[in-house]
Amino acid sequence: MNLNAALIPARSEQQAMDWSLVLLSQDIETTIERDPETQAWALRVDALDRTRAVRAIRQYISENRRPRWVKELPGTGMLFDGRCLAWFLFLVFLFAFEAMGQRDLSVAGRMDNQLVREGAWWRLFTAVTLHGDAAHLMANTITGLVLVGLAMGAFGPGLGLFLPYLAGTAGNLVGYLIYDDTRRALGASGMVMGALGLLAAQWFALLRHGLSPRDLAVRGVLSGCLLLLLLGLSPEKNVDVLAHVTGFVVGLVLGAIFALGPPALHRNAWVSRIAAALFVVLVLIPWGLALRRP
């Protein structure tokens, strides 16, 4: 027995793995052990590092304490953030506001290549929030609630909204660069696919952190079901494939950047707040400019 070592008990293998990553980020060497008699999990660290290790774990627990609106999906280990509902209620509000005849928001904010070329850059953003009919809105809302909620659970509320929104905007930008001036488009499909890309990007981190084949299989099946839900059950007739593919690829790349970065980066409270603030700014300012136009 190593008399210069100390044990830090953990409730499960997953918790021990999470804590070991926290300690490694603080340059504290650790090994995960399981007692053959009690089957209890623990982290073994140098006795001189025990105080610093416990302090780092307590800080991690404090910063990652789940609010009541964040729930774990049974059997998957994935988190769902219910605050995503606020964003989709906003999309429903815009649709209802236009349906009541208050303002023709689609004309004011839809993607129009010719108008963007003439300087209406804000349409790249406002088009993400608009829908052509109730079926279009319903398809993106139902699928988006699941995917964006899971993205917010995985990357935090700020990044989980901001990065898919950027991916949806990127889909509009690529369509602007490739199609001619007659193209008009709207919808949150690119953003929804961006959220799926974020979730897929977690595979890079999961493989690096040594998740079991069972855990990877569960996530793989779930990802396949979500993709089927999005593409196979969509009632949309004119699916913008380019926007979907671009949104997914951009979401995958952005997600990989954060998933493969420092373990605590996308869970940092300030990173989440800054991302949330940028998201709000890039929603409100473009709409402010759109509504100022006759």
188 pLDDT higher than 60: yes
78 pLDDT higher than 50: yes
Q: How far apart are CA 251 and CA 192, in angstroms?
A: 9
Q: pTM, whole model, 2 decimals?
A: 0.73
Q: What is the pLDDT of residues 171-187, one digit of tens each?
A: 999 999 999 989 999 98
Fold observed for domain 70-292: Rhomboid-like fold (1.20.1540)
In Å, what is the CA distance from 133 to each residue of 138, 190, 198, 236? 9, 17, 27, 10
Return residue ranges of the chain for CATH 1.20.1540.10.
70-292
Residue 204 has what pLDDT?
66
What percent of the chain is predicted at pLDDT more than 90?
A: 36
Output the CA angle 123-231-131, nearest 5 degrees: 30
Residue with tokens 């919808």: 187
The 3-class SS string of the chain reads: CCCCEEEEEECCHHHHHHHHHHHHHCCCCEEEEECCCCCCEEEEEEHHHHHHHHHHHHHHHHHCCCCCCEEECCCCCCEEECCHHHHHHHHHHHHHHHHCCCCCHHHHHCEEHHHHHCCCCCHHHHHHHCCCCHHHHHHHHHHHHHHHHHHHHHHCHHHHHHHHHHHHHHHHHHHHHHCCCCCEECCCHHHHHHHHHHHHHHHHHHHHCCCCHHHHHHHHHHHHHHHHHHHCCCCCCCCCHHHHHHHHHHHHHHHHHHHCCCCCHHHCHHHHHHHHHHHHHHHHHHHHHHHHCC
Return residue ranges of the chain for CATH 3.30.70.1530.
5-63
Q: How confident is the model at residue 205 (pLDDT cuts 50, 70, 90)?
A: low
Residue 30, beta-bridge partner list:
45
Q: How far apart are CA 21 and CA 264, in angstroms?
A: 9
Residue 42, beta-bridge partner list:
9, 33
**Is the Cβ–Cβ distance between 8 and 50 less than 8 Å?**
yes
Residue 221 has what pLDDT?
54
Q: What is the pLDDT of residues 5-32, one digit of tens each?
A: 788 888 888 788 888 888 888 888 888 8
What's domain 5-63's architecture?
2-Layer Sandwich (3.30)
**Is the Cβ–Cβ distance between 110 and 129 less than 8 Å?**
no
Report the C-alpha dihedral over residues 94, 97, 102, 106, rounded to 10 degrees.
40
